[in-house]
Chains A and B, each alone.
Chain A
Amino acid sequence: MHNYGTQNGRKVTVIVAVGLILCLCLSAMAYAALGDRTLAKGSRGAEVKDLQKRLTQLGYQVGKIDGIYGDKTAAAVTRFQKERGLKADGIAGKETIAALKKLTGESQNASGKQIGFKNSDVQLLAQCIYSEGRGEPYIGQVAIGACVMNRLKHPSFPNTIAGIIYQPGAFSAVADGQINLQPDETAYKAAREAMSGSDPSGGAIYYFNPAKTSNKFIWSRPQIKKIGNHIFTR
């Protein structure tokens, strides 16, 4: 009996040890943090997913966030590197990842305390600009963003960016679901420029495509200017 017990105990110890080692290996793989190793085409895993998320957050499209470093991810990394003055090789090395981490990090107060991202509206405004104005010239896209920003200051509209964009009936792209498309880099840039206060629309609060609109109200508004296919009005 006693002998049998010891044998059994040994077996259990071995199983537990093997299990522990397996667990450690797996968790090391799962929790490998972005920046631990250089990522390149063919890399897979949670780190790649993190990389893809951060690129998307900055407006670099990588397609599906699947944890696989494919052509699209490599192209996005290259574009990021070019815009940041890094060696544009499409390989996410130490420097590239550090720059990416810094840019997608949280804002800090004077004592270095993290206080959140502070840019949540950029995403929604970029979605609005992309769905309403892709294919328009860049200034036309900034002007669409500026219209939303002007409404924010105008008493006849809701007082938040989301309130303005999701006001039922206000934007056709919201009504037909195009608002949920992933915006491209241009739309992100236009959103940032509009949010910083630039207004190429000349103080517009409405715009329309004259070829597609017969709405009497919108035609009756005082027109300011035409940019691309849109007429911007007061």
Chain B
Amino acid sequence: MRESTKRKILAYTSGVLAIAFAVSLGWGIYQYQLVQQYKLETENHYQRALNDLITTMNEVETSMAKVKIANTPVQQLLYLGETWKGSVDAVGSLGELPATEVGINYVDTLVNQVGDFCKTMSRKIASLEQMTPEEFKTFNDMHERIIETNRSLQKLANEFYAENLPWVDKSPGLLQKLGLGKNLRATAEGGESGGQGDQTGQEAQQQAQQQTPTSLRGGLQQLDASLQKYPPFSYQGELDKHIVTEPQGLPAGEINENKAVAAAKEFLQNIGYKDATPQVTGLTEDPLGGFNLTYKEAYLEVSKKGGVVTYFRDQREISDRKLDLDEVLKKATDTLAKIGWNLDVTSTQDLGSYVQIELVPTEQNVRLYPDKIRLTVATDNGQIVGYDAAPYYAYHHKRDLKPALSLDQAKAKLKEEFKILENRLAVISKIGTEEAFCYEFRGTAFGEEYLVYINAIDGSEEKISRVINTPTGKLIQ
């Protein structure tokens, strides 16, 4: 090959390479800028959440201080309301800040408890009662803890701004991973503790190193851990209200695996599965728990205590719809009667291939709403494919059902505009396992349908629900 041709090729190749390099460099810069822009937007969002959190926590703390001295219901209600509102906002902001999958549980719990307690106290004060000394002490304890949390939060924020800390600790970069380059954290900590160490001694320096967060997320987690050491408040309120730790409705006696299989078999038989052979496939560790069983695509749970089926769900394919809502309801209640359940339908949701139904038992003409049963019924053949009796077994117990108020006395408590369509006695659930025995009034006013509950013992207006018509059925809000 001639020298000039070689040179030409060389010039050509290097030209192409130079252009490729310039293009990729440009692309790289563009991408980098884009990433920076997104990063900035995310950080602005965090920034706002952090500032909102600090502002609202301040409001919570201040209004709590005012509640303590207020001596008229008007002022007490005002500041309790401010505290309640502030705590809801604070929990919202807290949920927007960077955290690990564990979250910032203890701060959340504290703030939610404060809000919850204020809500309960507002209700009390609105019915012209006073906080008991015990409740006042709880409130005071909560205030103390909020002050501490608030101080730590503000300290963290100051540190964060002063030292320009990152939102989250940096994960090791490529160079560090390869063992090259400096260890970021070591240099940061070394540089920081140098000055402090001389004055405060080694022990304090160690402590300071442990306590000095290297990122906002780290700081929040330290704060969360520091709240862990406090004892719980005497007031539990709605804490953990999603679960009943001591079921009231399970029959006596414990059962073994064989009995569980027999119970499941009988249940399946009753709802139309002939010669079913369910098998135990696992155990459940919860207050209603016991044995998990499967049969084909169906899953069942039988409680260890009492040996009753608490949950059943068949996950079979549901074929073409053959039945309308009324036919489905008829078949479902017939099947339930066969098992020995005599229940009133309280709500239905038509979801196409199946219908969800809620039913409650009635005792001495009193509807027992807490003891409900949920059914899922297939619209292809009317078979029950889902059965959830967990609420029934969690709450059912012997109740004293003698009203102190007469129906007319209860009616007198209603607003004048309210037109009653239907009324009955009912037990409704309140917080946790607390219940209220009420007169239930279904009626209309102002173009809306309502359910109003008047306590049958003390005549207080216990609860108001609004009823709306959704495309799938009536919904109680």
Which of A82, A155, A172, A224 touches B108 (beta carbons < 8 Å)? A155
- Give the complex CA separation of A113 and B95 in angstroms: 36
Alpha-carbon gap, A192 to B351, bound state (A): 9
Q: Which residues of A contact B (CB under 8 A)?
A: 80, 82-85, 88, 102-105, 107-111, 113, 115, 118-119, 137-139, 142, 149-150, 153-160, 163-164, 166-170, 172, 189, 192-193, 196-200, 202-203, 205, 215, 217-218, 222-226, 234
B149 within 8 A of A: no
- Nearest CB of A to B412, in Å: 24
Contact of B51 with A by CB under 8 A:
no
- List the one stretch of B124-132, B176-184, B443-451 in contact with chain A: B443-451
Indicate if the CB atoms of A198 and B108 lie closer than 8 Å.
Answer: no
Closest CB in chain B relative to A82 CB, distance in Å: 5
Determine chain A's interface SS by DSSP, over half rule. loop
For this complex, 15 residue pairs linking A to B, each with C-beta atoms less than 8 Å apart, are A103-B471, A107-B471, A153-B242, A155-B238, A155-B239, A157-B108, A158-B95, A158-B108, A163-B92, A167-B99, A200-B299, A200-B311, A224-B286, A224-B289, A225-B284
Docked CA distance A170–B96 (Å): 11
Residues of B within 8 Å of A119, CB to CB, are: 470
Asked, given contacts A83-B321, A84-B352, A110-B447, whether A156 binds B109 with beta carbons under 8 Å apart, the answer is: yes
**Roughly how many angstroms separate A197 CA and B467 CA in the complex, as a whole number?**
18
Q: A158-B95, A159-B91, A202-B286 in contact; A107/B475 too (CB < 8 A)?
A: yes
B76 within 8 A of A: no
Q: Which of B65-110 contact A (CB under 8 A)?
A: 88, 91-92, 94-103, 105-106, 108-109
Q: List, in ascending order, chain A residues with CB within 8 A of B322's CB.
A: 85
Select B243's contact among A84, A158, A203, beta carbons within 8 Å.
Answer: A203
Contact of B379 with A by CB under 8 A = yes
B376 on the A face (CB < 8 A): yes
Query: A220: shortest Cβ distance to chain B, in Å?
Result: 10
Interface size, B (range)? 35 or more
Within 8 A of A (CB), among B234-289: 238-243, 282-286, 288-289
Instruction: Flag if B469 contacts A85 (CB, 8 Å).
Output: no
Q: What is the bound-complex CA distance between A110 and B97, given in angstroms?
A: 42
Question: Which of B29-37, B135-143, B312-320 contacts its partner?
Answer: B312-320
B113 CB contacts on chain A under 8 angstroms: 155
| Pick from A84, A107, A149, A225: contact of B285, CB under 8 Å | A225
Query: B282 touching A218 by the CB < 8 A rule?
Result: no
Q: Are A113's CB and B447's CB within 8 A? A: yes
Residues of B within 8 A of A104 (CB): 471
Q: A85-B324, A202-B288, A225-B283 are in contact. Are A154 and B242 (CB under 8 A)?
A: yes
A110 to chain B, nearest CB (A): 4
Question: Does B388 belong to the interface (CB within 8 Å)?
Answer: yes
Query: CA of A149 to CA of B321 in the docked complex: distance in angstroms?
Result: 30
* Contact status B241-A153, CB under 8 Å: yes
- For B103, give its contact among A167, A199, A226 (CB under 8 Å): A167
Across the interface, do A224 and B284 meet the contact criterion of CB distance under 8 Å?
yes
Q: Beyond A83-B352, A107-B470, A139-B313, list 9 extra A-B contacts (CB 8 Å).
A: A88-B320, A110-B447, A110-B449, A119-B470, A157-B108, A163-B92, A198-B374, A198-B386, A202-B289
